[in-house]
């Protein structure tokens, strides 16, 4: 989607035209459809009236931007998967979700962005036939939603790791993780392949229009589908993520204060026992040893706490990026589906909203590389192994043997 994050990505259908169910809207879907929405030539006068050299320049710029996003998403998410596979210390429970999220984002880039870019760069003309139009719409909705649902699963995992650390290993067993990941991959099918191939997502008028115009691949949705799909793809997962991270933040503050107080008490008690036990040397040694052991335990707890909270911070940043990328699109998607033509939005703006959402699938690996030291070092080592000619560009990490 989520572009899970579809992701979480990225999420919902790209190229969506959430118009009302009236036949007039269904018969002219290209006027408000996005990205892969193709249109009758006369419906895009702005581009047609441009001088030829300017039009070519616009197409080139669009191609560079879209190509950069697609390339970054493919290479970045492939690097995440390869790095976790290559480095044993990255094989922890949380990174099971991260790898699955990277797979969803990789598929968003390969199965959704590429077709979308071809339609955009060809002036809105769909070149692959009626059946492939439904396949594309389904894959776009499916993988974008899967991306967002993965981000939701990650937030739940971090919640239990921070708020209930003692029960975490019991709750997040292999079976639980498998069920959560399975749900993130199965649920999107309920709002993608099934309703799209059954024709439930739109009106009969629009279906007839698509049959008569195979060169058009618009995604015109009816109101029930728009509300249900947006809730499953964005609003409910987004609300869950916000609630989880609010609770994580409160617990992180509480634990930090508790650890600070505990460390201070250990130091004061050690000094007190040292002064009161000068006449009992053996007793003093026992107390100091106990204090040292307690201090070591506190340091270990602090180290574990810091590691968990660094992971939570990174995933919190990912969640924030997801909201920034997908919120504008889903606000447009739901608003226009409810108020119809009264909420008209230019096609160019709609296309930009879609690609901002797509960008979320390329952004997640960049966040890992910048904010997570383990992933950053693993990325360097993986790239050095994959590109021997560039080995001199990287310092050899001593921890990788």
Residues 349-375 pLDDT 10s? 888 998 999 999 999 888 877 787 888
Query: In the predicted model, what is the mean pLDDT of the chain?
Result: 76
Residue 195: give the domain boundaries.
56-262+305-384
Decide if 275 is inside a domain. no
Assigned domain for 29 exists: no
Q: Which pairs with CB-CB distance under 8 Å and at least 24 residues apart come from 73-76?
A: 73/105, 73/106, 73/108, 73/109, 73/113, 73/358, 73/361, 73/362, 74/106, 74/109, 74/110, 76/362, 76/364, 76/365, 76/366, 76/369
Q: Please give the pLDDT value at position 303.
A: 55
Mean local confidence (pLDDT), 219-245: 92
Lookup: tokens for 20: 């009302």
Predicted confidence at residue 265, as pLDDT, reads: 55
Q: What percent of the chain has pLDDT over 90?
A: 33
Q: What are phi and psi of 140, to 5 degrees?
A: -65, -50
C-alpha of 19 from chain center: 27
Residue 198: per-residue pLDDT = 92
Cα dist from 253 to 111, 246, 297, whole Å: 42, 11, 20
Weakest-pLDDT range from 86-95, 232-241, 251-260, 290-299 = 290-299
- pLDDT, residue 225, reads 94
Overall domain count for the chain: 1
| CB neighbour list of residue 72: distance below 8 Å, 6 or more residues apart | 362, 365, 366
Average pLDDT over residues 331-338: 88
At 394, is the pLDDT very low, low, confident or very high (cuts 50, 70, 90)?
very low
Higher pLDDT, 244 or 265: 244
Q: Is residue 364 classed as helix, strand or coil in its secondary structure? A: helix
Answer whether residue 347 is part of any domain. Answer: yes
Contact present, 259 and 301 (Cβ < 8 Å): yes
pLDDT band at 100 (very low <50, low <70, confident <90, very high): very high
Residue-level pLDDT at 301: 53
CA–CA separation, 196 and 198 (whole Å): 5
- What would the pLDDT profile of 142-165 be if each residue is shown by its tens digit? 999 999 999 999 889 988 888 888
Residue 26 belongs to a domain = no
Q: What is the pLDDT at residue 92?
A: 85
DSSP state of 88: G
For 196, the enclosing helix (H) or strand (E) is helix 193-198
CATH number, residue 242: 1.20.1070.10
Mean pLDDT over residues 312-326, rounded? 81
- What is the model's pLDDT at position 146? 94
Q: Is residue 6 part of a domain?
A: no
* CA-wise closest residue to 139 among 166, 104, 89: 104
Q: What is the pLDDT of residue 300?
A: 53
- At residue 388, the pLDDT reads 66
Pairwise CA distance, residues 55 & 332, whole Å: 27
Average confidence (pLDDT) over 320-335: 90
Tell me the backbone φ, ψ of residue 248, rounded to 5 degrees. -65, -45
Q: What is the DSSP string of 219-281?
A: EE--HHHHHHHHIIIIIHHHHHHHHHHHHHHHHHHHHHHHHHHHHHHHHHHHHHHHHHTTT-H
Beta bridge partners of 16: 219
If we measure between CA atoms, which residue out of 198, 200, 230, 219 comes closest to residue 11? Answer: 230
Q: pLDDT, tens digit, for every residue of 181-198?
A: 999 999 999 999 999 999
Q: Is the residue at 13 inside a domain?
A: no
| Alpha helix stretches (DSSP H) within 28-124 | 45-48, 52-86, 93-108, 114-121
218 in a domain, yes or no?
Answer: yes
Q: Is residue 73 part of a domain?
A: yes
pLDDT band at residue 38 using 50, 70 and 90 as cut-offs: very low
- The owner of tokens 């029960």 is 167
Confidence (pLDDT) at 75? 93
pLDDT for 59 equals 87
* 354 within 8 A of 329, measured Cβ to Cβ: yes
Beta bridge partners of 95: none
* pLDDT (mean) for 335-353: 83
Q: With 0-12 CB in 10 A as exposed, 13-18 as middle and 19+ as buried, what is 237?
A: buried
CB 10 within 8 A of CB 113: no
Does the pLDDT value for residue 129 go beyond 70? yes
Task: Decide which of 399 and 156 is more confident.
Answer: 156
**Cα dist from 234 to 87, 122, 145, 384, 386, whole Å:** 33, 30, 8, 38, 36
Tell me the C-alpha distance between 18 and 344, whole Å. 11
């Amino acid at each position: 989607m989520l572009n899970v994050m579809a992701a979480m990505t990225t999420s919902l259908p790209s190229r969506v035209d959430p118009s009302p169910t009236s036949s007039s809207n269904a018969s002219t879907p290209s006027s408000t459809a996005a990205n892969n929405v193709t249109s009758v030539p006369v419906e895009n006068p702005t581009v047609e009236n441009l001088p030829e050299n300017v039009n070519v320049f616009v197409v080139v710029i669009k191609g560079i931007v879209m190509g950069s996003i697609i390339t970054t998403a493919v290479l970045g998410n492939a690097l995440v998967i390869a790095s976790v596979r290559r480095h044993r210390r990255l094989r922890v429970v949380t990174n099971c979700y991260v790898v699955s999220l990277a797979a969803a984002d990789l598929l968003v880039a390969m199965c959704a962005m590429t077709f979308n870019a071809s339609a955009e760069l060809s002036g809105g003309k769909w070149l692959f036939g009626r059946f492939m139009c439904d396949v594309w719409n389904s894959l776009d909705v499916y993988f974008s939603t899967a991306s967002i649902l993965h981000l939701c699963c990650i937030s739940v995992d971090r919640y239990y790791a921070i708020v209930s650390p003692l029960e975490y290993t019991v709750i997040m067993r292999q079976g639980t993780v498998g069920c959560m990941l399975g749900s993130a991959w199965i649920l999107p099918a309920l709002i993608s392949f099934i309703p799209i191939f059954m024709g439930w997502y739109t009106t009969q008028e629009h279906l007839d229009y698509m049959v008569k115009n195979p060169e058009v691949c618009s995604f015109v949705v009816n109101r029930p589908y728009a509300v249900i799909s947006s809730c499953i793809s964005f609003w409910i997962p987004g609300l869950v993520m916000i609630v989880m991270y609010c609770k994580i933040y409160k617990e992180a503050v509480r634990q930090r204060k508790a650890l600070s107080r505990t460390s201070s008490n250990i130091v004061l008690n050690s000094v007190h026992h040292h002064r009161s036990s000068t006449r009992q040397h053996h007793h003093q040694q026992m107390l100091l040893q106990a204090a040292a052991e307690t201090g070591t335990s506190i340091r270990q707890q602090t180290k574990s706490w810091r590691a968990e909270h660094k992971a939570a911070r990174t995933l919190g940043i990912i969640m924030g990026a997801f909201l920034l990328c997908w919120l504008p699109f889903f606000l447009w998607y739901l608003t226009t589906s409810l108020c119809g033509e009264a909420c008209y939005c230019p096609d160019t703006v709609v296309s930009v909203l879609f690609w901002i959402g797509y960008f979320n699938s390329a952004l997640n690996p960049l966040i890992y590389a910048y904010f997570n030291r383990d992933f950053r070092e693993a990325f360097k080592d993986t790239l050095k192994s994959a590109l021997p000619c560039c080995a001199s560009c990287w310092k050899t990490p001593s921890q990788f043997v």
